[in-house]
Structure 1
Amino acid sequence: MEEFDVVRIVKLLNQKHIIDGDDAIIREPQVGDVGTIVMVYQQGAGYCMECVDDDGWTIWLANFTPEELELIWKSKK
């Protein structure tokens, strides 16, 4: 998986992720959430992923391991 790929959370190995987001809508990531990879750590060892609402507001920004995610759309960079 690479930056700008769209991925889905398939499991949460760590129930509490350190997250950031827009104050009015921030929440914890959940299985089934879809987002975009915004940073790849150490050649695929982990990913920073952003999930936004329909208006473009950030619901959460958090780090995940490859085992927690599945690719649903490959970016054409």
Structure 2
Amino acid sequence: MASSRNRLFPFLKNTDRSGWKKNDSNSKPVARDDLEGNLLKEYPSITVASRELHLDKKAIIQVAKEKYKQWNGFVWM
């Protein structure tokens, strides 16, 4: 079955997709606060925040959903 999929769009292997719009319809902005409630930085998505700070996305989500109060000294909203 995998070989049949490769035959459908063989031109996509060599296509430059860097200019294609990414589907960010599910991304939500997130704010990083310190433990006193001071805003430190806002990020366009949880993924961007986790990449910049080298933190796990799941930890940021759990703090934002208030399952945990803080993670690595930050509060996420």
Give the structure-1-normalised TM-score.
0.32
Larger radius of gyration: 2
Greater fraction of residues in strand: 1
